[in-house]
Amino acid sequence: MQIKTASRLGLLPPYLFAELDRLKKEIQKKGVDVISLGIGDPDLPTPAHIVEALKRAADDPANYRYPDYQGLDRFRSAATDWYRRRFDVKLDPAREACAVIGSKEGIANFATAVVDPGDIVLIPDPGYPVYFSGCVFNGGEAYFMPLRKENGFLPDLEAIPAEVARRARLMWLNYPNNPTAATAETGFLADAVRFCLKNNIVLAHDLAYSEIAYDGYRAPSVFEVPEARECAIEFHSLSKTYSMTGWRIGFAVGNETLVGALGRVKTNMDSGPFQAVQEAAIAALEGPEDSVREYCAIYKQRRDLMVDALQELGLSCERPRATFYVWAAVPKGYSSASLTERVLKEAGVVITPGSGFGKGGEGYVRFSLTVSSERLKEAVQRLKALRL
């Protein structure tokens, strides 16, 4: 039989990291010792007290059954308590918080909760690919907001045409930002909230990197802007903060109607995160923060190593105040893809072409700082030998 898959699959570009992974395996097969600075997946282990909490919870048969759809009450309280301590933002755990199976899941499903066919979704370009996937899977129309260096990689809200703003239902923002590593101040988030309230747009803020910060920088929550409670939802993940990408746990907080709508979608699509993982996540959110500080110090050291080396090599980049990425402009004569390809084939180093995050990323590549300093130094040596 001729199998026909849904036409929506045809609307997606190949998932960036799946494609990079295939290329990497191809080169590895040739015996090359590949250094991966591609995907942003922490190499540092999940802190021991969190792993211990999982082990204890895995011994309790009460955790073997279907979890609560929205997450354990105690998990949601741990999340909102953490928000109060971290951002001085008070949220009701019962109505304004929902567990997600990693924030990628929540981000994708949130579009189902708010986007109708024909609605415009305002998406940062370059940006995390899932904002676009969620949009097109639900019949939405993407309007890309370019993130330009001259604007500090913040979207220019004034440049959004009135007609687009009128038809827009949802805006995605993500600061600290992947892939540009840019940060936003509360003032910018306040401008975005004002813009969204004026135009009846739901504001979704992806806060996956709030805790990976340096040089005294403290990333704000959108809910530090009081009016955000009227129009916004924020997605938080334990993946980056506690090196828990494989555990699949995060949460969404914010406007009660928005959190409730996400919860209704999820009730019909999944059955919540494994309760033992929620127990471990409670231990993470309520436990000591030493590991977070320690890991940030390690990333900072790697950041300085990489930024110094890239600047020496003539790849222009900023020294980021947050995230474990360095976003660098490609040298003259290269595109994002041609530099990525040459670096992989001739140096055995995987980096991510900026163009894989959208047209606005063309001319840039992203380096992940998720390997040891020794491996980073080795990568730098190999890059030097290329004489870019």
Ligand X SMILES: *Cc1c(COP(=O)(O)O)cnc(C)c1O
Provide the binding-site residues for ligand X, judged by CB under 6 A: 40, 102-104, 128, 174, 178, 206, 208, 237, 239-240, 245, 250
Q: How far is the CB of 147 from ligand X (least distance, A)?
A: 13
Q: How far apart are CA 68 and CA 81, in angstroms?
A: 19
Q: Are 240 and 44 a contacting pair, CB within 8 Å?
A: no
DSSP secondary structure letter of residue 127? -
Q: Where are the beta strands (DSSP E) in the chain?
A: 35-36, 97-100, 120-125, 141-146, 168-173, 202-206, 232-237, 250-254, 325-329, 349-350, 352-353, 364-368
Q: Which is nearer to ligand X, 140 or 250 (CB)?
A: 250
Q: 153: helix, coil or strand?
A: coil
Q: How far is the CB of 352 from ligand X (least distance, A)?
A: 11
Q: How far is the CB of 238 from ligand X (least distance, A)?
A: 7
Q: How far is the CB of 103 from ligand X (least distance, A)?
A: 4
Strands 168-173 and 352-353: unpaired
Q: Which is nearer to ligand X, 63 or 368 (CB)?
A: 368
Q: Which is nearer to ligand X, 174 or 336 (CB)?
A: 174
What b/e readout covers 182-199, taking b as 16+ CB neighbours within 10 angstroms? bbbeeebbbbbbebbeeb
Q: Which is nearer to ligand X, 80 or 103 (CB)?
A: 103
Q: How far apart are CA 287 and CA 279, in angstroms?
A: 12
Q: How far is the CB of 282 from ligand X (least distance, A)?
A: 16
Q: How far is the CB of 119 from ligand X (least distance, A)?
A: 21
H or E element at residue 216 = none
Q: How far is the CB of 360 from ligand X (least distance, A)?
A: 15
Q: Which is nearer to ligand X, 258 or 309 (CB)?
A: 258
Q: Which is nearer to ligand X, 98 or 208 (CB)?
A: 208
Strands 232-237 and 250-254: antiparallel
Q: Which residues pair with 234 in a beta bridge?
A: 205, 253
H or E element at residue 305 = helix 290-313
Q: Which is nearer to ligand X, 178 or 278 (CB)?
A: 178
Q: Which is nearer to ligand X, 83 or 334 (CB)?
A: 83
Q: How far apart are CA 368 and CA 302, in angstroms?
A: 10
Q: Are 115 and 135 a contacting pair, CB within 8 Å?
A: yes
Q: Which is nearer to ligand X, 109 or 336 (CB)?
A: 109
Q: Treating both helix axes as pointing N-terminal to C-terminal, what angle do 73-87 and 275-286 enclose, rounded to 10 degrees?
A: 20
Give the Cβ contact number of residue 268 at 10 Å.
10
Q: How far is the CB of 285 from ligand X (least distance, A)?
A: 14
Q: How far is the CB of 351 from ligand X (least distance, A)?
A: 16
